[in-house]
Structure 1
Amino acid sequence: MSELGRHLKEARLQKGMSLDDVQEVTKIRKKYLEAIEAGDYKVLPGSFYVRAFIKTYAEAVGVNPDELMEEHGNVPAAPVDTTMETVIQKRSRKPEAERNSKWLPTLLMWTFPVLILVVIYLYASSTMNKADPDTTDTGSLTTATQDPSKVEPSATAAGGGAAATTAPDAGAATEAPTAAPSPSPSPSAQSITVTEDRKSGKTTIYKVSAPAGSQVQVAIAATGASWLEVYKGENSKGEKLSFGTTKAGDNLSFTLGSEGMYIKSGYSPATTITVNGQVITDGKTSSRLLLELDDGTSASAGNTQDGGTESITTE
């Protein structure tokens, strides 16, 4: 037993305290108190704890710790203990972490409403941006509809030229939407009529009545594949005007002369034939049509003035 330990033990006994009493007061484990009394400082955790425990023990039994240390200089000096510094640092950081953990719920509580407001704002902005083009387009349509310069004249409107131009387009759109409009006839074409006159075998003959000097346009618009033959005259022995297979979008235009025109369509539903905008058809899948021009001039039963060929009307 060291002199320091004996001194502390005597002071403890004078106080009438046991090691258990000192342990209760100082909160120092009993084995460390026994080691201090025996002078076996190796049992203690470190040099710092040696001096700290001795001071605490001395104060508990009523001994001045400073005088005790000066009297007994064989107590190990207290080095800088990194363990204690680490403990102190951990203790100093703990309040900061606790403060951060207190602020985190508050921050989250405010962040969530802000995000909701941002989403609502973005949604409202996108909705307004989409609504503006629709409004603009509607206004443009209204303006275009009310603009007299953009309104096409009616087919029955007075003035002649504008009405005659739109008449073939209306007829072509009704029978063959994909066909291009036929050429515009002259104002005198309003009096041109096309009537089914008679049949000769598989051929259907149409009488085309037109004022003298007027041109009669025959248009063929193809909406699909069909074998098509067009000749001048009353049959396929005349001058060949067209010969071959059509495809969708093909458009052919001819001028009907006094010699007449013979048209043969292998698949009638794919070819729309119009005479000055008037559609002609025999209602068959495969059509053979003969157009005879009656321009009001007198023709003999056997011959014509310009062609020198026999007229179909003699039959």
Structure 2
Amino acid sequence: MPPAPRHALALASLLAFCLMSSPALAAPPSEASPAPQASPAPLPESPSLSLTDTYSPVALGTIGLLFPTSAAITVFGGYFFDAPVPAMGSPTPGSLDYRVAENFHGDLETGAPLLGGIPDHGGYALSALPVLYYGLGSAWKGITGRDLYPWQGPYHHQSTFAYLETFTWTALLTNAAKFFVGRARPYVALNRRSYGWHGGEDYLSFWSGHASLSFAAATFMARDISDGLYHRVLANAEPLPRFMLGRALPYTVLYGAASTVAVSRLYDQKHFVSDVVIGAAVGTLLATLVYNARFDARGIPRTRPGVALDIAPSAEPAPVPPEPLSRTTPTRSSPAASAPFAIHNRFRILPGQQLKLALP
């Protein structure tokens, strides 16, 4: 058997094994089968939250104004602003930046881009993908009343707005660096005009906007989808399928797409290695900061300060009733007198409820 079909067959077998070993995806056991072992309970869902539960009106208005502004600057910034005065020099011959740009490129006569330019346009598509992804989920939920993505939970609006926040800060910071720093692109520094654009783009090399926005989108979506799969859909799965499908798969697919976009910027002579690495780091960092600020470790939105919360009994075993009191008053040395006061009712706070205490 040729190598390629053999590898494909092995991959298909591994995937089938993972799917069949997952209790959430396998067929239900028959009556004669032994009882399954106890597994961790799926993540309990909280009631749906409104955007005002997680974002203040000021934050909503700020992001709503800055997001279209940042998107317009990202796409048309080279036409809106004059070419910046170069403030950052080109890499010196022999440096890593210079050697990669000198040796990693396509046809210098035609300037053919990597994979026909698909990764170049894919950078913009990847940064817009989360908006389409969450928008479809919200529309489907509003029309049918059901979740389009089982792993998403009732948090489409929070995820959509959190990603808009991620995109906004990443795009604004990236474009500020481009137009204030000013660095010649590789095709300018190495005089390869076959790869050139119009003059307004010649000195916008530092840092890569394709890399920063692609890695911001990949990081945010990987975190969000991974948390939903790991804590909801695969909560009762075996450890290996739970990790492979809930953690490894989303990160591999999305970071693979972002890495392809980043490599194309080197091949197409648009950025140096340092431009791509710093851009990817900035996008990853900002997406991580926004996600951690808006969601907890299980992917449930955090409520903003000042939102009233209720108290509801938690899912715990029934408390053991206390023993009846003795008619004799316990002495200081008796165990009853030295035993600490025990609270048997435990509660957890849920969004949208209020805590009321009656004082004597």
TM-score range, shorter chain: under 0.3
* Higher Cα radius of gyration: 1
- Structure with the largest fraction of helix: 2
TM-score by length of 1: 0.19
Q: Which has the higher strand share?
A: 1
Q: Which has the higher contact order (CA 8 A, sep 6+)?
A: 2
Q: TM-score, normalised by structure 2?
A: 0.17
